[in-house]
Amino acid sequence: MRFLKANKIFNGNFFLPDNSVLVLNEQNNLIEILPESKVSNQTVEFFEGIITPGFVNAHCHLELSYLANKIPVKTGLVNFIINIIKQRQQEYKKEQIIESAFNADLEMWQNGIVVVGDISNNEDSFKIKQNSKIKYHTFIEVIGLNPNNKSKIFDNALLLSNQLREFKLNGSIVPHAPYSTSLDLIQLIANYNRENNLPLSIHNQETEEEKKFFYGIQNDFKKLYEFIKVDISFFKAPNCSSLSAYLPYINNQKAILVHNTFSEQADIHEAAAKNCFFCLCPNANLFIENKLPDYSIFKSYTNNLCLGTDSLASNYKLDLLSEANLILKHTHTFSLENMLQMLTFNGALALNLHDSFGQLLINKNTGLNLISFIDSEIKLIKKII
């Protein structure tokens, strides 16, 4: 048995009363939280700093880890996607792709991350995720703007989803983004996930071009579709924001909107009314568009915020604290408590894994990190378990 105490203990949602002691058994499961007065005849380990549950990275693409340092920075989303496609067309060795994913998984674990919501377009990373100490929820991602192809695309995703299950990994099917996935396909996926109580994720309002695309104003996506030689003459701009176009299909279910770099107050209001989660990935936003969201528009919705690293194709490291610190440096909108909740409970709730992770839970090992908070910067001192 271990008895742990620190300057402060954060339970995933708030700080515990001072002098709280965490009692762990030999399996590192939390068995009790006691006031120190009740454990006076035991050896209590004291930690200088703040103890938190393990961190939850709500948005990553492990399978893209081999593209670290391969993509030019700050070129805008459309050029970023074109560069990713060009790289994926090159003949990279499977071993290199797998080794990079293995290292990225280890990096996240060492950075105090215990849960990841991870996008997969293929099976490259499944084995790594199966053998990882990290708990993964895999988002099988689909792309297809032509509504006529929706059934074929969805059936293919179900096949990949079955493959995922053979690795004993949990996951769900998700649309890539509103500019790349038809509303019909988004509806089909949303209905399927709702019926099966599975979380959905979608890249949302990551570029100004997305707005223009939905309002029928000239935009860069023409260049993207020309590059991939896909005729989109069938596409009729709905003349509303991308979010307003697909939100009617999200009902009574978990949905994680990722990036939100160009979202406006009205968008966030509308999505929060449907209890959507907003996943912030600031380092990737700077890498791709050199722009950060207006964080003040999320002030009333801190319970709906979580954090993501995105992939090593659009980030220099997979370190959730680097994301948190970038936000803290850029805005005073959020308190330390808000930020710790984004790092832990909110992501677990968004991924439907809050019964096992993201908060201090009796009879569970949700990971324990020891952090410091000095000069508005959070640092990982060490992983306690």
Q: Count the residues of the shown chain that bind Zn ion, applying the rule CB under 5 A.
A: 1
CB of 224 to Zn ion, least distance (A): 16
Return the number of other C-beta atoms located less than 10 Å from residue 376's C-beta. Answer: 10
CB of 384 to Zn ion, least distance (A): 30
Measured from each CB, the residue nearest to Zn ion is 310
- The alpha-helical segments, DSSP class H, found in 3-93 are 77-89
Q: Is the Cβ of residue 310 or residue 319 nearer to Zn ion in the bound state?
A: 310
Q: In the range 290-329, which residues lie near Zn ion by CB under 5 A?
A: 310
Q: Is the Cβ of residue 129 or residue 340 nearer to Zn ion in the bound state?
A: 129
The 257-296 contact track toward Zn ion, x by CB under 5 A, reads ----------------------------------------
- 54 DSSP 8-state letter: P
Question: What region, left, alpha or beta, does residue 367 occupy, with left being phi > 0 and alpha being psi -120 to 50 degrees?
Answer: left
- The alpha-helical segments, DSSP class H, found in 203-330 are 208-215, 221-227, 242-246, 265-272, 282-288, 320-330
Residue 218 near residue 249 (C-beta atoms within 8 A): no
- 189 DSSP 8-state letter: H
CA–CA distance, 343 with 366 (Å, rounded to integer): 13
CB of 77 to Zn ion, least distance (A): 11
Q: Is the Cβ of residue 78 or residue 380 nearer to Zn ion in the bound state?
A: 78
Q: What are phi and psi of 69, to 5 degrees?
A: 65, 20
CB of 301 to Zn ion, least distance (A): 21
CB of 120 to Zn ion, least distance (A): 11
Q: Is the Cβ of residue 206 or residue 220 nearer to Zn ion in the bound state?
A: 206
Q: Is the Cβ of residue 139 or residue 167 nearer to Zn ion in the bound state?
A: 139
CB of 235 to Zn ion, least distance (A): 22
CA–CA distance, 125 with 102 (Å, rounded to integer): 8
b/e per residue 184-207 (b: at least 16 CB within 10 A): bbbbbbbebbbeeebbbbbbbbbb
Angle (nearest 5°) at CA 182 between 181 and 183: 120
Q: What residues are paired with 174 via a beta bridge?
A: 141
- For the CA atoms of 17, 19, 20, 24, the dihedral, rounded to the nearest 10 degrees, stands at 160
CA 341 to chain centre: 14
CA–CA distance, 304 with 319 (Å, rounded to integer): 21
Q: Is the Cβ of residue 73 or residue 240 nearer to Zn ion in the bound state?
A: 73
CB of 203 to Zn ion, least distance (A): 6
Q: What residues are paired with 173 via a beta bridge?
A: 140
Tokens describing residue 111: 């950075």
Q: Is the Cβ of residue 124 or residue 310 nearer to Zn ion in the bound state?
A: 310
Q: In the range 328-347, which residues lie near Zn ion by CB under 5 A?
A: none
CB of 308 to Zn ion, least distance (A): 7
Q: In the range 172-201, which residues lie near Zn ion by CB under 5 A?
A: none
The 211-250 contact track toward Zn ion, x by CB under 5 A, reads ----------------------------------------
Residue 181 near residue 145 (C-beta atoms within 8 A): yes
Q: Is the Cβ of residue 201 or residue 219 nearer to Zn ion in the bound state?
A: 201
CB of 380 to Zn ion, least distance (A): 23
Q: Is the Cβ of residue 213 or residue 287 nearer to Zn ion in the bound state?
A: 287
Q: Which of 80, 79, 76, 122 is nearest to 98 (CA)?
A: 122
Q: Is the Cβ of residue 4 or residue 78 nearer to Zn ion in the bound state?
A: 78
CB of 311 to Zn ion, least distance (A): 6
Q: What are phi and psi of 289, to 5 degrees?
A: -110, -5
Maximum CA extent, the chain = 76
Which residues form the interface with Zn ion (CB under 5 A)?
A: 310
